[in-house]
């Protein structure tokens, strides 16, 4: 199986040498399954196509991260030096 994968990698990488038919043990069911999987694998889409396809599934997560980030930023920017001086947490960690 490893030899066949290396052969396929060689053939895909070096197209001028595709004349070399390196199909080793093609009667093996494992090899046939690997070939079928390789044929079914999709190529990567360009980023705009990917984001358009995945938007419907991922928008709740992105909106949740944006809201959470905005809330954390608002509260952390609202803290003053006076708040830090009075904080038990800051006092405990300044030791």
Interval 44-87: pLDDT, tens: 778 888 888 899 999 999 999 999 999 999 999 999 999 988 99
Q: Which is higher by pLDDT, 21 or 1?
A: 1
The per-residue pLDDT for 11 is 61
Q: How far apart are CA 89 and CA 93, in angstroms?
A: 6
Percent of the chain topping pLDDT 90: 35
Banded pLDDT at 20 (limits 50, 70, 90): very low
Q: Where are the domains of the chain?
A: 2-40, 47-93
Q: CA separation (Å) from 90 to 1, 77, 78, 85, 94? A: 60, 16, 16, 7, 6
């Amino acid at each position: 199986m490893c030899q066949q994968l290396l052969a396929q990698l060689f053939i895909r990488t070096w197209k001028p040498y595709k004349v070399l038919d390196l199909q080793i043990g093609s009667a093996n069911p494992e090899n046939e399954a690997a070939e079928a999987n390789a044929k079914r694998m999709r190529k990567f889409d360009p980023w705009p196509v990917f984001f358009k396809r995945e938007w419907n599934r991922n928008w709740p997560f992105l909106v949740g991260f944006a809201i959470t980030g905005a809330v954390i930023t608002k509260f952390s920017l609202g803290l003053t030096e006076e708040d830090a001086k009075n904080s038990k947490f800051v006092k405990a960690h300044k030791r």
